[in-house]
Structure 1
Amino acid sequence: MTQHNDMLIVGAGILGLSHAYAAAKRGLKVTVFERSETPVGASVRNFGQALVTGQPPGPMLELARASRGIWGDWAQLAGLQLKRNGSYLFARTEAQEQLLEAFCEGRAVEHGYRVDLLRGAALRDLYGGQFRHHRAALHGMDDQQLYSREAIPALIDFLRRDLGVKFHFSTLVRDIEPGRLHSTAGSFNAEQIIVCSGHDYQTLLAEQIAELDPQICRLQMLRARPQTNLNLQHALLTGLSCVHYGAFADLPEAAAVQAEILRHAPHLHENGIHLLISPTPYGELIIGDSHHYGSDPSPFNVEQVDDWMIELAEQTLGCKVQVVERWQGVYGSRGPGPFSFLRPAEGLSVALMHTGVGMSVGPAMAERNVATVLEEI
Structure 2
Amino acid sequence: MTQTHCDVAIVGAGILGLSHAYAAARRGLRVRVFERTATPLGASVRNFGQALVTGQPPGVMSDLARASRPIWAQWAQGAGFSLRRNGSLLFARTEAEEALLEAFCAGRAPALGYNVELRRGSALNDLYQGRFRHHRAALLGLDDQQLYSREALPSLIEYLRRELGVQFHFSTLVRDVDSGTLRTTEGTFTAGQVIVCSGHDYQTLLAEAIAPLEPQVCRLQMLRARPQVDFGLGHAVLTGLSCVHYGAFADLPEAEAIRAQIRRDTPELEEQGIHLLISPTPHGELIIGDSHHYGSDAVPFNAEFVDRLMLELAEDTLGMRVEVVERWQGVYGSRGPGPFSVLRAADGVTAVLMHTGVGMSVGPALGERTIAGLFG
TM-score range, shorter chain: over 0.9
- For 1:373 and 1:123, the matched residues in 2 are separated by 48
Q: Deviations over 1:56-75 (max 9, x none)?
A: 11000000000011101111
Q: Deviations over 1:77-99 (max 9, x none)?
A: 11121000000000000000000
The residue number in structure 2 matching 1:278 is 279
- For 1:57 and 1:169, the matched residues in 2 are separated by 37
Residue 17 of structure 1: CA displacement? 0.3
Asked if the contact 1:225/1:323 (under 8 Å) is kept, the reply is yes
Aligned partner letter, 2:155:
A
- For 1:124 and 1:343, the matched residues in 2 are separated by 52
Q: Deviations over 1:121-169 (max 9, x none)?
A: 0001110000000000000000000000000000000000110000000
The residue number in structure 1 matching 2:57 is 56
Aligned partner letter, 2:81:
L
Tell me, yes or no, if structure 1 residue 28 matches structure 2 residue 29. yes
The residue number in structure 2 matching 1:153 is 154
The residue number in structure 2 matching 1:184 is 185
Aligned partner letter, 2:134:
H
Residue 253 of structure 1: CA displacement? 0.3
The residue number in structure 2 matching 1:368 is 369
Tell me, yes or no, if structure 1 residue 71 matches structure 2 residue 72. yes
- For 2:126 and 2:206, the matched residues in 1 are separated by 54
Q: Secondary structure of 2:357's match?
A: coil
The residue number in structure 1 matching 2:256 is 255
- For 2:92 and 2:198, the matched residues in 1 are separated by 37
Aligned partner letter, 1:261:
I
Residue 346 of structure 1: CA displacement? 2.0
The residue number in structure 1 matching 2:223 is 222
Q: Secondary structure of 1:145's match?
A: strand
- For 1:210 and 1:18, the matched residues in 2 are separated by 24
Residue 249 of structure 1: CA displacement? 0.2
- For 1:37 and 1:348, the matched residues in 2 are separated by 24
What CA RMSD, in Å, does the superposition of the two structures yield over aligned residues? Answer: 0.5
The residue number in structure 1 matching 2:332 is 331
Aligned partner letter, 1:352:
L
- For 1:230 and 1:203, the matched residues in 2 are separated by 46
- For 1:68 and 1:244, the matched residues in 2 are separated by 22
Residue 228 of structure 1: CA displacement? 1.3
Tell me, yes or no, if structure 1 residue 130 matches structure 2 residue 131. yes
Q: What 5-or-longer segments of structure 2 have no aligned partner?
A: none
The residue number in structure 1 matching 2:81 is 80
- For 1:152 and 1:123, the matched residues in 2 are separated by 34
Residue 332 of structure 1: CA displacement? 0.2
Aligned partner letter, 1:116:
E
The residue number in structure 1 matching 2:142 is 141
The residue number in structure 2 matching 1:201 is 202
Aligned partner letter, 2:66:
R
Q: Secondary structure of 1:324's match?
A: strand
Aligned length: 375
Aligned partner letter, 1:119:
R
Asked if the contact 1:55/1:245 (under 8 Å) is kept, the reply is yes
Residue 179 of structure 1: CA displacement? 1.0
Give the TM-score normalised by structure 1: 0.99
The residue number in structure 1 matching 2:91 is 90
Tell me, yes or no, if structure 1 residue 322 matches structure 2 residue 323. yes
Q: Secondary structure of 1:132's match?
A: coil
Tell me, yes or no, if structure 1 residue 353 matches structure 2 residue 369. no
Superposed counterparts of 1:154-169, under 5 Å: 154-169=155-170
Aligned partner letter, 2:54:
T
Give the TM-score normalised by structure 2: 0.99
Q: Secondary structure of 1:211's match?
A: helix
Q: Secondary structure of 2:248's match?
A: helix
Aligned partner letter, 2:365:
A
Residue 345 of structure 1: CA displacement? 1.8
- For 2:230 and 2:103, the matched residues in 1 are separated by 34
- For 1:236 and 1:54, the matched residues in 2 are separated by 12
Q: Deviations over 1:299-323 (max 9, x none)?
A: 1000000000000000000000000
Aligned partner letter, 2:193:
Q
The residue number in structure 2 matching 1:290 is 291
Q: Deviations over 1:348-374 (max 9, x none)?
A: 100000000000001101100001011
Asked if the contact 1:181/1:189 (under 8 Å) is kept, the reply is yes
Tell me, yes or no, if structure 1 residue 171 matches structure 2 residue 172. yes
- For 1:278 and 1:175, the matched residues in 2 are separated by 38
Tell me, yes or no, if structure 1 residue 240 matches structure 2 residue 241. yes
Q: Secondary structure of 1:191's match?
A: strand
Aligned partner letter, 2:7:
D
Asked if the contact 1:4/1:190 (under 8 Å) is kept, the reply is yes
Asked if the contact 1:347/1:373 (under 8 Å) is kept, the reply is no
Q: What 5-or-longer segments of structure 1 have no aligned partner?
A: none
Superposed counterparts of 1:12-27, under 5 Å: 12-27=13-28
- For 2:33 and 2:81, the matched residues in 1 are separated by 21
Aligned partner letter, 2:248:
A
